[in-house]
Amino acid sequence: MPQILVEGLAKTYRVAEREPGAWGAVAGLFHRRWRTIEALKGVGFAMERGELVGLIGPNGAGKSTTIKILSGILRPSAGRCEVDGLVPWVQRVKHVARIGVVFGQRTQLWWDLPVIEGFDLLAAIYRVPPDRYRATRDQMVGLMRLERLLGQPVRQLSLGQRMRCEIAAAMLHDPSILFLDEPTIGLDAPSKLAVREFVATLNRERGVTVILTTHDMHDIEALARRVVVIGNGTILADSPYETLRAGVLAERRLHVDFAAEAPAIDIPGVEERARDGRALELAFDPAVVAVPALIARITADHAVEDIRVDEPAIEEVITRFYQLHGAEEA
Amino acid sequence: MEAALRPYLATFSARFQLMLQYRAAALAGFATQCWWGGIHIMVFAAFFAGAGAAARSPISLAQVITYTWLAQGFLSLNPWSGDPDVAAKVRTGAVGYDRLRPVDAYDWWFVNAAAWMTARAAPRAALMFAMTAILFPLAGLSAWAWAPPADLAAALMFTVSMLLVVLLSSSIVMLINICVAATLTDRGVNSFVAPLAILFSGNLIPLPLFPDWARVALFVQPFAGVVDIPFRIYLGQITGWVAWAGLGVQVFWIVVLVGLGRLWMGRVMGRLQVQGG
């Protein structure tokens, strides 16, 4: 029995529309036109206890809507959803006591309260027994290295410091599931690394089930074994990260630095991607053109100083994937 | 029982302490209220000096003066605007986060409103008391001072009545909060409720000074319970069964408005779930 079960989840909103300009504003007073937006059209997936899944997709794809339904904030228009045997939006109070949620763009701590007082208040709100709270808190403070931040009001923290506190705050009632909606948005590199390490530790050592949405593919690369790609309100792919990467883009890149001005290369199956003086970047499919054969041909014909093979950046992989499925932001 | 109440008690005390931090606001509020109170009292003194006014008034000038200082001191308990935190949450969409807490949404906002009001009222009322009930008599201004309660019974009943004020005012603030959540802005409802609260509570003109034919209607409407009823009990202006009836009016409106608020909140939150924050 999976811990999270989602089937045929659909969500439609109605938004009021009006003609542009002053006349449109007046007309809107008398007659509203409504437009229906389908945020989700039949989303379904299942997750086992202790899994860590990355949920990715372009802006407006339905990631946040999915998280909001799973956490009980929104009620879907159709479909089924059970988390630990509870229907989130029906048994809301019981459900939310068992989950932790972090929205990267919002704060759940009290702006004017010192971090530690916010933690105490959350422990009271979740009715965590005092000794269990102290144990969990100390563990989180240690893991996230928050000792020096505890006495500071939240408004004085940097974004990276705050996000570390936010995730710790979401763990104080020892939830079995953690929803992270863009937890690394706007963070600098060290903070991102700290957040990733923390999430990985929670998942590995405490067995917390994690659903993570992000636009930073390095988060996915570092954390998620399994990736669910969502676009236009439907699931485009649900597979291990490596499969997704290999399937979408087997393409490799060859960077060559020539001794003289880069020549034109005319080999079937090889495309020129960029050139800059003596440097040349070539794209090829290793299934069509073998790497050793390609290098041999180029070095035989030209004087070469340096040569490197790499894979395209993950951002490129994912953009290509969205394009293939027509899932770019409308 | 204690575990059930823990989230609400902790929230109340956190919000109360947080609001107490705003000392400059308390001092500024106190200064404004002294100014207002002074003007009120001068106007009423001129009114009572007029021909025959004092003889026909059901309430004496000395009582009006104490009534005025009480009304100014406890101004923050008057429910004339919604909780600004709720308005901010509605504007930023953080209401969703409130839905992630394992607490009853109505009760949680309610204790927040109660803490917000009492924490603002406490320092202002204390300052007002220190100045008009202690310093004024010492300075020989006894005629203009905040007088002690009529008797012990009045003092006890006043204490009970003030506790009811906190509940009644919070239930009215909750209706405003829910309206803010439903309309997504606090401007409209605040500017609508503020004059009603100021006028019908007795804050602007003590309710006994209204025409005879309006008295009963004014006594049984909800806003009387936040200013007029407790202060007239304090003054001994209403005693015996009328005073008990006053407490009854307060309790009646608390029950009705909390019931109404709960129903409405359920609907608005249901709609938020459907339509998104």
Integer Cα distance of B89 and A133 in angstroms: 27
- Whether residue A97 and residue B102 make contact (CB cut-off 8 A), yes or no, is yes
- ipTM of the complex as predicted: 0.85
B105, closest residue in chain A (CA to CA): A93
Ranges of beta strands (E only) in A141-233 are 177-181, 209-213, 226-231
Which whole number is the average pLDDT over B114-133?
A: 94
Q: What is the pLDDT of residue B275?
A: 64
Q: pLDDT band for position B1 (50/70/90)?
A: low
- Separation between Cα atoms, residue A252 and residue A263, nearest integer Å: 20
- Minimal CA separation from B32 to chain A, in Å: 26
Query: Distance (Å, rounded) from C-alpha A44 to C-alpha A200?
Result: 25
Q: Name the average pLDDT for chain B.
A: 91
Rounded Cα distance between A261 and B216, Å, is 100
SS3 A28: helix
Between the ranges A192-196, A217-221, B18-22, B96-100, where is the mean pLDDT highest?
A: A192-196
* Adjacent-strand bridge partners of A46: A5
HSE-up of residue A44 (Cα within 13 Å, Cβ side): 6
pTM here? 0.85
Task: Report CB contact under 8 Å: B97, A108.
Answer: yes
Which residue in A74, A103, A125 is closest to B101 by CB distance? A125
Sign of CA dihedral A86, A91, A93, A96: positive
Specify the residue for token string 């809507």: A65
Choose among A75, A93, A97: nearest Cβ to B274.
A75
CB contact under 8 A, A120 and B10: yes
More confident call, A31 vs B8: B8
Return per-residue pLDDT of chain A as tens, 330 residues: 889 999 999 998 877 776 677 776 677 667 777 788 888 888 999 999 999 999 988 887 888 889 999 998 888 999 999 999 999 999 999 999 999 999 888 888 888 899 999 999 999 999 999 999 999 999 999 988 899 999 999 999 999 899 999 999 999 999 999 999 999 988 888 889 999 999 999 999 999 999 999 888 888 888 888 999 888 888 888 888 888 777 666 778 889 999 888 888 888 888 888 888 899 988 888 878 888 888 888 888 888 999 988 877 666 767 777 777 766 654
Q: Which helix (H) or strand (E) holds A308?
A: strand A304-310
Q: Strand, coil or helix: what is A301?
A: helix
- Rounded Cα–Cα distance for residues B85 and A156 (Å): 19
Token pair, residue B204, equals: 């602007």
DSSP A128: -
Angle at the Cα of A73 from the Cα atoms of B12 and A178, rounded to 5 degrees: 85
pLDDT score at A233: 86
Average pLDDT estimate for B28-43: 92
Across residues B190-206, what is the average pLDDT?
92
Q: Evaluate if residue B277 carries a pLDDT over 60.
A: no
DSSP state at residue A114: B
Residue in A13, A35, A95, A127 to test binding to B, most B beta-carbons within 10 Å = A127
Determine the straight-line distance between the first and last CA of chain B, rounded to whole angstroms: 33
Put simply, whether B14 touches A (Cβ < 8 Å) is yes
Question: Cβ of A18: how many Cβ atoms within 10 Å?
Answer: 15
Q: What is the pLDDT of residues B47-86, one digit of tens each?
A: 888 867 677 788 899 999 999 999 999 999 999 999 999 9
Contact A106 B100 (CB under 8 A): no
If you measure CA to CA, which chain B residue comes closest to A114?
A: B18
| Residue B246 one-letter amino acid | G
| Chain B residue numbers touching A103 (CB-CB < 8 A) | 96-97
Q: Return all residues near B4 (Cβ < 8 A) that are at least 6 apart.
A: none
How do strand A99-103 and strand A177-181 relate by DSSP bridges? Answer: parallel
Q: Which among B11, B100, B270 is the nearest to A71, CB-wise?
A: B100
Nearest CA in chain A to B94: A106
pLDDT for position B271: 81
Distance CA A2, CA A84 (A): 8
Q: Is the pLDDT of residue B220 over 90?
A: yes
Q: Chain A to chain B, count of Cβ pairs less than 8 Å apart? A: 71
Smallest CA–CA distance, residue B261 to chain A, in Å, is 19
Query: Who wins on pLDDT, A19 or B191?
Result: B191
